[in-house]
Structure formats: C-alpha cells, structure tokens
Amino acid sequence: MIVRQAIEADVGAIARICSESWRVTYKNIMSSRAIEQGIRRRFKRKTIYQQVCSPVEWKGWLIAEAEGKVVGVGLRSRISNFHVTIEELNIDSTFFRQGIGRSLIEEMTRLARVHEAILQSVSVIGGSSTAISFYESLGFEFAYASHGIHKITREPTFVVRLRRYLESESERRLILERWHGQNR
C-alpha cells in the first residue's frame, strides 16, 4: 500500500469512498435523509476537484492505494499557524482494519510536522467509541465534547473533539519562539 497526494483522476474515487463511508459510519447516528444531505453538500465532485487541483501546501486530500485501487482517503487542513485538523478519514469498508487509516494519519502527521504544526485534532461525530479508541491508540486525547447542530446536515449532534501534541513541550517552545522572532 502507498499513501500519496490525490490527483485529478482520484476525484471520483474520493467521492465514492467518502459517500460509502458516511453511509456505513453514520447509519446509527444520523437519519438517512441527513446522511444523504451531508454527502450531497460535502462530497460534490466540483468541490473535491477544486481541493485536489488547487491544494494549499497544508490542505488537501491524501490517497491510500493498494494494488492500483484507491482504498482510503483523508482530508487535512490547518486551523491556525500551529494547529492542523483531520477533516475526513474514510476507508473502503472492504479494507477496514488493515492499517489504512493509521497510514493516512501518519502521512498527515508527517506533513504537519514539515510545516511546524504542534497540535493535531479531529472531531468524532456521534461519539463513536470505535473511532475514539482508534484515535486514542494513535496518541490523541480527549479535548472536549459538545452537543449542537451539525453544520452540514443541520441535525442535532454530539461531537467529541480529540487532540494530540506533535512535539515535546521543549520542541513546541522552540517552534513558537522561532515563529515569534520571524514575525516581529
């Protein structure tokens, strides 16, 4: 398996995997109407195309590919100078529990470190214990939980936010000092 930056030819596979993954992941968390509405709003091919073909250096889709087939996708973005988030992590259901999600997150983390991010976060919709356990196995810790309205589906939802520091405290201080020195 390889993990790589998405290219234009991957747009259809990204839309397919994300749509299928949302249907499986959220079937007991959201109404089917809300799931389909979320898929239509979040995974428009035009939007994915724009994200793939015009990526910002710290935002974009990654692809996990096995035997020439796209089997997992991840979308990362930056919240602030030092904080990156995992916006999407979706795996083809026939490839669950084969290390694909872990590999995608490892590459997201490598790229975050290249750009001196020191904090990485992810939101788990519906508080899925399986997803939370997966992220905790990668060193993420509970940050907060909230009830609210899902920004895409507009349905009430419960979200658990997890985070992890990418560097030791002393490394974080050095990065922050270097950044403050360059931006005075």
Which domains, from first to last, does the chain contain?
A: 2-182 (3.40.630.30)
Distance CA 26, CA 57 (A): 30
169 is written with which tokens?
């405290």
Given a cut of 70, is residue 183 above it in pLDDT? no
Please tell me the predicted confidence (pLDDT) of residue 4: 95
Task: Considering only CA atoms, give the Rg of the chain.
Answer: 17
Report pTM.
0.86
Q: What confidence tens digit (pLDDT) does each residue in 155-181 have?
A: 777 889 999 998 777 776 777 777 666
3-state secondary structure of 67: coil
Measuring CA to CA, which residue among 69, 62, 49 is closest to residue 101?
62
Please tell me the predicted confidence (pLDDT) of residue 166: 86
Given a cut of 90, is residue 153 above it in pLDDT? no
Q: Does an H or E element contain 147, and which? A: strand 141-149
Measuring CA to CA, which residue among 110, 109, 135 is closest to residue 122?
135
Any residues with CB less than 8 A from the CB of 23 and at least 6 apart, and which?
35, 39
Measuring CA to CA, which residue among 78, 72, 84, 90 is closest to residue 1?
72
Q: What confidence tens digit (pLDDT) does each residue in 24-79 have?
A: 988 888 889 888 988 998 899 999 998 898 766 667 899 999 988 999 999 998 87
